[in-house]
């Protein structure tokens, strides 16, 4: 498997998804396609969990064999055992991270299914529904805001765990088979995380607008306070001039 090919494919998907954003600023994506990509990625992650769990068991068997071995050089024995124990801990951490990632993907699938249901019940096209949601979102509608904040939280955590998975894998010496499996999983995760970016971008843009609004409000408040102080000073000066 060529990891460059996978990266190129993921980049192509990202461009397609990014190009589907509506003029209103609310991302519009094919929810059915998104859901299928999540399912595919989850299956790949589950397969990798199974593979890495088997690798961990193999390391544990090697450690047990060392513990039962006799007449070995103590220094060499300790070096070998420490190496195996370290590998066991690395794989165990990787498996735990991937189990959490699998859970996030399942939550993401449930969230997308909820969006699919809402679009279907509305009787509108994806574009119409997302345009309506954008209007309500900008108006700080609580239900809509919570819906997309939930999706954003799930997707951000998924992205973080996917990145953490790659960091942990880089610390391991993978066999050709394990490396090929990891690259396939990375490919599917790249597709999902690129689609996640739409919702994350929406919330980031909203947060930036709110921040700019807050900053402007602070400046307005400062100006009003300065005007009030100038007025008070003027009043005091006039009273002093008249002997009050």
DSSP per residue over 77-97, as a string? HHHHHHHHHHHHHHHHHHHHH
How far is residue 144 from each of residues 97, 112, 160, 202, 211, measured CA to CA in Å?
30, 14, 24, 13, 20
- Identify the pLDDT of residue 197: 73
pLDDT band at 219 (very low <50, low <70, confident <90, very high): low
Tokens of 146: 């919570």
Tokens of 227: 């005007």
- Identify the pLDDT of residue 131: 82
The answer to the question of residue 223 being in a domain is: no
The answer to the question of residue 232 being in a domain is: no
Count of the separate structural domains present in the chain: 1
- Tell me the pLDDT tens digit for each residue of 35-94: 899 999 999 999 999 999 999 999 999 999 999 988 888 898 999 999 999 999 999 999
Over residues 13-38, the mean pLDDT reads 58
Helices then strands, each counted (H, E), the chain: 6, 0
- Identify the pLDDT of residue 128: 85
The answer to the question of residue 117 being in a domain is: yes
Contact 28, 126 (CB under 8 A): yes
CA-atom Rg of the chain in angstroms: 28
The answer to the question of residue 185 being in a domain is: yes
**Separation between Cα atoms, residue 225 and residue 231, nearest integer Å:** 10
pLDDT band at 1 (very low <50, low <70, confident <90, very high): very low
Statement: residue 212 has pLDDT above 90: no
Tokens of 88: 């066991």
Q: What pTM was estimated for this model as a whole?
A: 0.71
The answer to the question of residue 51 being in a domain is: yes
pLDDT above 70 as % of the chain: 69
Burial class (CB in 10 A: 0-12, 13-18, 19+), 238: exposed
The answer to the question of residue 216 being in a domain is: no
The answer to the question of residue 73 being in a domain is: yes
> What is the residue range of 88's domain?
3-206
Contact 188, 40 (CB under 8 A): yes
Contact 82, 59 (CB under 8 A): no
The answer to the question of residue 45 being in a domain is: yes
């Amino acid at each position: 498997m060529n990891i460059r090919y996978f990266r190129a494919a993921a980049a192509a998907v990202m461009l397609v998804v990014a190009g589907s954003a509506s003029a209103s600023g609310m991302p519009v994506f094919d929810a059915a396609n998104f859901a299928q990509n999540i399912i595919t990625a989850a299956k790949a992650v589950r397969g990798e969990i199974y593979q890495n769990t088997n690798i961990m068991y193999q390391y544990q068997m090697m450690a047990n064999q060392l513990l039962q071995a006799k007449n070995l050089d103590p220094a060499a024995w300790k070096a070998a055992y420490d190496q195996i124990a370290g590998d066991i801990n690395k794989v165990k951490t990787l498996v735990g991270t991937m189990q959490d990632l699998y859970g996030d993907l399942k939550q993401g699938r449930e969230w997308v299914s909820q969006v699919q249901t809402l679009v279907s019940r509305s009787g509108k096209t994806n574009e119409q529904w997302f345009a309506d949601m954008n209007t309500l979102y900008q108006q700080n509608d609580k239900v809509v805001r919570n819906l997309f904040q939930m999706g954003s939280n799930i997707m951000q955590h998924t992205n973080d765990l996917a990145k953490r998975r790659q960091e942990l894998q880089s610390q391991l010496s993978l066999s050709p088979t394990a490396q090929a499996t990891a690259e396939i999983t990375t490919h599917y995760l790249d597709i999902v995380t690129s689609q996640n970016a739409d919702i994350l971008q929406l919330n980031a843009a909203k947060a930036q607008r709110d921040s700019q609004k807050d900053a402007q409000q602070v400046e307005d408040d400062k100006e009003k306070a300065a005007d009030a102080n100038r007025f008070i000073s003027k009043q005091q000066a006039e009273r002093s001039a008249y002997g009050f």
